[in-house]
Structure 1
Amino acid sequence: MSRSIRLLNLLQRLREYRHPVTAQTLAEHLQISVRSVYRDIETLRAQGVRIEAAAGLGFQLKEDFLLPPMTLDETEIEAIFLALYWLKSVPDQSLQLASNAVLAKLDAVLPKHRQHFMEQTTLRAFNVWLPVDMQILEQIRMAIRQQVKISVKYIDEQKNESIRTLWPFAMGYFNDKIVIAAWCELRQAFRNFRVDRVRQLVLSQDVYPQFKQQLFRQWWEQEKRDSTTDRN
């Protein structure tokens, strides 16, 4: 990791804390030494970043000089907050951490009166999800992003087990379940797979032969023609 990236990561971590945070905590999050944290904080200070040190408590970012003010009205703030709060319930640790990071960035760029409004927002989204393997969920998102094939052990509705090679191109969050939309090489057709029924997953390096946007459009046309959602 380059030093410039490390400094940006440190700055982002400081944004996420409303109260002082210790150098030890920052070092653990960033996977660097405590000594490096102190050295990087001094570098940021030399560049004009206001980072205050509280004896026995740690460091706190007092203002963010890098990000410009952002203009959002109250309804837009409520919409973003509600979406990010809902995301905290999704059983995917990376997305949960990302939602916290986005909220911290918003807090850094919003004018003071909008920051106060966001802090006072009481809109909430609640969801109860079927248990899933978070590592498998993250691997599926990675496969969709990179447009590569995956091999899964899947348990269908009748408790039958099969090994499938899939081209995952979309994922949907429906009520209590998370569903993968994919081309199934076994069936030679589009199929929907519930993530809670995936028992094992191997992430391939093989790029599938169509762009995910093309597959999504073809699948969506089929879904509009056929309302059956579980034909595995």
Structure 2
Amino acid sequence: MPRADRLVEMIRILRDGRLHRAEDLASRLGTSLRTIYRDMDRLIASGVPIEGRRGLGYRATAAVTLPPLNLTMTELEALHLGLAAVAQAEDAELRDAARSLSGRIDAVLPEDRGRAGGWSFATPPLGDAIAGFRHMASLRAAIRARQKLQVTLRGPDGAEAAQVLRPLRLDYWGRVWTLAGWSETNKGFAELRVDRITALRVLPQLFVDEAGRTLADLEASRG
């Protein structure tokens, strides 16, 4: 399994809020204990809200605290995207200001967020958040309207495949957005990395709750 996909799967496992031993993660993901430790360090250093340590276990938390503000992960992502965009501006003064502000935010993040690796401009292990951001408005609108989507996704091997999806929820886990929903094409729940969506078409069909295909069913399947 490619590292990027393994990291996404690791986050998916940890998001249930329970404590997971590194040994169990290694067995489930088919990799070594040493690789799990290395991947976990990388996730934490990149801002994913994970707490724990070697020998005890790891779990994901729901929010990042930035005194005196309590930020949700969505709010932190919005801040990250804004700073990242300004940091690419042609205006040198704005670029410097964005990096300076990033450093100040980094300095007050809690120690257990692994800030040693940097926050806003650390190398993102899970893809380009800005690339996926162009789809966010359409995805959020479709979820609210309960409108089906045709999503074309680029796989780890570079091949593209389209599927019809009932979008149920967007999640943000440290530099990557995922779209969860029911895939009518594959007849099962799917969790797609938004930064890998290459084409998106909002379909005219609406959907209603059906047993086995709801958000509650999705959450139950993650158990």
Q: Which has the higher contact order (CA 8 A, sep 6+)?
A: 2
TM-score by length of 1: 0.44
Which of 1 and 2 has greater Rg? 1
**What TM-score, normalized by structure 2, do the two folds share?**
0.46
